[in-house]
Each structure stands twice: as C-alpha cells, then as structure tokens.
Amino acid sequence: MAGPGVPLRVVSYNIHSQRDDTAALAEVVRAAEPDVVIVQEGPRRFRWRQKCASLADSFGLVVAAGGLPALGNLLLVSLRVRVLATRCRRYSLTPGRHLRGAAYAECLAGGARFLLAGSHLSTDPAERPAQATAFKRELAAATLPVVAGADLNEGPDGPAWRTVAAGLTDTAVAADRADRHTFPCADPRRRIDAVFVDPRIDVVDYDVVDSPRTRRASDHFPILVDLLLPAAG
C-alpha cells in the first residue's frame, strides 16, 4: 500500500444474544478500545432499537446500522468514525428455514473511506452457500475497501467460507494465526468466525481474545484486528 495508512481497530463478535455475563461482555469490548464492532446475534426483537442503543452505550460506542432489519447483525462505531450511508439486507427466505441477514455501512475514519459489513450464516449447511452468495454479492459490488466480519458457522474448508473469502484477505491467515479457534469458548476447536478485508488494507495484528472474561461473556471468542486503511489521495 503506497503512502501512510489510517489505523482502524476492529472487533467482530458473536455475543450469543446477550445470554451470558453482560457485564463481562461490556468489559471485554471496552478494554479492546475498538473503532468499530461487528456484532452477530445482536438485539432483533421487542424494543430492538432501545436494546441496540443500550448495548452500544455499554461498549462506549454508537449504533451505525443493523438490528431487526439485518436480523441481529449490528454495526457499532466510535465517535472517531463517521457513518456516511447504511443499508440492511435479509436473505431470501424459505418457509421453515432460518432467518439471516447482513448490515452494511459506508464509513469515514481519518480521511479514509471504507465499507463495514457484517453477517451471520445459518447453522444448516444446505442454507449457507446461498446466504454466502447473497452476502458476497454486496461485498463484490463495493468500490470502497471492504472490512467484513462474520460468523460463518463453518471453517475455511467450507464452500460458504470460500465464497465470502474469494478475492479478500483472511486477516487470521495474513497474521499467521489461522490456528486460533473461535468457538466454542468452553472447548475451542473450530475457527468459524472471521474478518475479511480488501487486499488494499494492511493487516497489522490479529488476535482471538481468550481470557476469563471472554469465557464468561459469550460462547464465541471475539476477534480483534488492527488494520491500516489506504489513505485518501
């Protein structure tokens, strides 16, 4: 990447619908001091707007996009990040199948524009490929550098993972930490959560945060990634 980059700290986190230790959850995110948080299993039902705002406030952040319109996918940002435009998508639904969606936000940080995106694919392997294709369609159409976090519910050898990852950088691989498992916290043995970025973005650091607090906060570990966005100009 030519010229100085703009730092961006990203957390991608399946918060298990806040069914675990919510105080620990807030402590985990606040300690990371992220610029953006990509949430899976965020509020999506009764009073979801209020609940999304409360969750964001507990993290010291504000809501950018998501919630019910994105079926629980939620994008949160710090005051350092300006949100320029947002949209939410729901994947094509078949009666009796799982509801899934995605959230997208065009953002500006330190003069660098980027597309922030998040999704959570089905636990059903028959449903995931079509969902991955729908999520990827939006990412592939983006002209801005992409920062995408997702719970893919399968590992890197799966077809849905390969669909989403195509043409993007797997931040774990870039940091030589693809051996770090993200799920389940009680017995971590799978890497089903990921952050993918545009090849124009540099991966500075990557971590799967395994600590006593993260083991209380959710059934997934959070991913923490430090990036350098391409500077404008």
- Please say if the pLDDT value at position 38 is more than 60: yes
Output the CATH code of domain 9-217.
Answer: 3.60.10.10
65-85 pLDDT, tens digit each: 999 999 999 999 999 999 999
Give the residue extent of every domain in the chain: 9-217
* Residue in 171, 117, 120, 173 with CA at minimum distance from that of residue 141: 117
Interval 107-160: pLDDT, tens: 999 999 999 999 999 999 999 999 999 999 999 999 999 999 999 999 999 999
- Order of strands across the sheet with 112-120? 81-90, 101-109, 112-120, 146-151, 193-197, 169-170
Average pLDDT of span 169-186: 98
Q: pLDDT band for position 171 (50/70/90)? A: very high
- What does the pLDDT read at residue 2? 42
